[in-house]
Structure 1
Amino acid sequence: MNDLGSSIAASASGLRAQAQRIRHVSENIANADTPGYRRKIVPFESGIGAGEGEGTVKVGRVTLDRSELARIYDPSHPLADEAGYLDGSNVDLVIEIADAREAQRSYEANLKMFDQARQMASSLLELLRR
């Protein structure tokens, strides 16, 4: 694959990975008040082992955060135990918002890289036509 194609493949894989990360961060934020919900963690891996090109990235296996769940005292809640406590979620909204911003900025950077490579390829084809 040529260099421009490799650039486009790398940025496209980054776009896919960040889009999936944003989706999981959104799920975490949406379930922040769901009792017993565990935060999803999205790891990134090199795409080389998956048969993709050099410089590509893919999302690894999504895991659940195993940190302690918040204990909430609400004896009127149907999920409360006999002492009146229930397990909350381990989602920290500050961390999720920071992750969302980071993913958004990375997505935008990959989009700009993709557009630049596409413009360069288009300019090269235009030069070759002359």
Structure 2
Amino acid sequence: MNEFAKSLSVSASGLKAQASRLRHLSENISNADTPGYRRKTIPFRTEFDAGSGVAGVEVGRMSLDDRPLARIYDPSHPMADAGGHYEGSNVDLMIELADAREAQRSYEANLKMFEQARQMSSSLMQLLRR
């Protein structure tokens, strides 16, 4: 595997990981007001391919945040108990939006790296044709 292909592989794994992260973040944001919803999180880990000698990013298993759910007082809510409380979600919109911005910027950085490697490879091919 040549160096251009290795750099494309690394940036592609980063793109895939950040896309998965953005998907989970958007699910969290869209369910922020859903009673009983638990925030989804995904870990990243380094994956080393011994055959090609390339380390990339791999997405781990999705897990649910075990922080306690918010107790909301609304006696008119259909899910309210005898005391008028029900369990909301444990999604904090500020955290989700900050994580989404970070994931977006990381995605853009990986995309830029991918594009640079592709352009360098294309330029090299044009030079070799001359």
Q: TM-score range by the shorter chain?
A: over 0.9
Partner of 1:107: 107
Partner of 2:18: 18
Change in 2 beyond 3 A, CA 1:51/1:40: farther
Shift of 1:52: 7.8
Partner of 2:38: 38
Shift of 1:46: 1.4
Q: C-alpha separation between the residues in 1 aligned to 2:81 and 2:63?
A: 27
- Taking only the aligned residue pairs, the percentage that are identical comes to 68
Q: C-alpha separation between the residues in 2 aligned to 1:64 and 1:12?
A: 26
Q: C-alpha separation between the residues in 2 aligned to 1:82 and 1:50?
A: 60
Query: Which sits farther off after the overlay, 45-54 or 78-87?
Result: 45-54
Partner of 2:6: 6
Instruction: State the SS of the aligned residue for 1:57.
Output: strand
Query: Which stretches in structure 2 are left out of the alignment for 5+ residues?
Result: none
C-alpha RMSD of the superposition: 1.7
Shift of 1:55: 2.7
Q: C-alpha separation between the residues in 1 aligned to 2:52 and 2:81?
A: 50
Contact 2:49 2:55 in 1 (8 A): no
User: Superposition pairs for residues 77-116 of structure 1, below 5 Å?
Assistant: 77-116=77-116
Would you say how many aligned residue pairs link Structure 1 and Structure 2? 130
Extract structure 1 runs of 4+ deviating beyond 3 A. 49-53
Compute the TM-score of the two structures, normalised by the length of structure 2. 0.94
From the two aligned structures, give the one with the greater strand fraction.
2
Instruction: State the SS of the aligned residue for 1:55.
Output: strand
Shift of 1:59: 0.9
Q: C-alpha separation between the residues in 1 aligned to 2:63 and 2:50?
A: 19
Query: Which sits farther off after the overlay, 106-115 or 80-89?
Result: 80-89
